[in-house]
Amino acid sequence: RLRVRLRRQPAWSTLFRPTMPTRYFQVVGRKLPTEADPEPQIFRMRLFAPNEVTVKSRFWYFLHKLHKLKKTTGEILAVNEIFEKKTLHIKNYGIWLRYNSRSGTHNMYKQYRATTLCDAVDKMYQEMAGRHRARNRSIQVIKAIEIKSSDVTRPSLAQFIDSKVAFPLPHRVPRPSSKKFRTTFKAQRPSTYLR
């Protein structure tokens, strides 16, 4: 007799867990006022996180490393989401980061082309996961800024910075100009390749 061992299938929620998009926040906080220090120093940080709960946690994580402060001895004054003004044209971004790998901590500089800074950071998280197996929790963004086209050094980005850049249209499907010209059958087979 053969004994068959059945493997339990993972739940659908673990297989298809949607990733939340990265958002850009500004967090303002300080140490709790005391009689000895009635007006403590205020700290402001700009952080990337999927939601407000995570960004508050990251704020206290970094502030505890930089100053002798933690959640129990401090307070958050404001959490504001930062939005970009122009999101319709593509820009170049430079991102300085450090991440923890299996062997140690590494610094890195990366360049991306995206319409928003949050999209560029999302691309960075995806690339770091693919190339270096680095999880979001082990990546710390040090600085992320928009850079000029002349400062782009990566060949994969530089190939798109050209006023005469052109892309082929290999598959064009002819569409009717209005609903009254739409038909189920055609007298001639339509050709969709580029002539």
User: pLDDT tens digit string along 39-53?
Assistant: 999 999 999 999 999
Q: Name the band, by pLDDT with cuts 50, 70 and 90, for residue 18.
A: low
**Percent residues over pLDDT 70 in the chain:** 90
Lowest-confidence pick of 4-13, 17-26, 126-135: 4-13
pLDDT tens column, 63-113: 999 998 999 999 999 999 999 999 999 999 999 999 999 999 999 999 999
Q: What is the pTM of this model?
A: 0.77
Question: What would the two tokens of residue 45 be?
Answer: 């940080």
∠ CA 40-32-142 to the nearest 5 degrees?
70
* CB of 45 closer than 8 Å to CB of 74: no
